Structure 1
Amino acid sequence: MQGMGEGGCPFTFNTDPATFKVGDPVSYRVTGSLDGFPFAGVLLEVHDDYVVLTSDEDDKASRMRATRESRPVVREEDVC
């Protein structure tokens, strides 16, 4: 992509689920027809075995439950 700068992605994501905290930017995946596409989001909640994230912090309805792993996984039917 143009404008991405040298060396790859201009974003810094937290990929260590042991250190996840509210407000962390994460790269997440979606199952189903969106499998393989990278998405960026922000953690809203961090629990022992799952996280809640959003792809739009300004949209209060945009909340998705995801697995707690280096790149969280959201089920396609849960995408807002």
Structure 2
Amino acid sequence: MNGDDYVTVTTTLRQVRDRSIWIDRGRDDRERVWIPRSVLFGADDLRLEEQAIGVEFRIRVRRWKADELGLVPDKNAPAQRSLEL
């Protein structure tokens, strides 16, 4: 595994913008962070427009960004490797 792998985190979506999303950090809704959409798993990013605001959901984020922001990966979700082109 390396920093380009994706980890799955469970969080609550607060806002979606063209280039970023605002989510709760972990299960504590008092701390929120902005995440660039460019570090999200492609299929998860495509589903954001349909995701209800204020509802808990699972999303895959590049490991290095999750580590940087202090997002806690789901323990039972396997890491997913990025596609190398």
Q: Same fold judged by TM-score > 0.5?
A: no
**Greater RCO between the two (CA within 8 Å, min separation 6)?**
2
Normalising by structure 2, what TM-score? 0.38
Higher helix proportion (structure 1 or 2)? 2
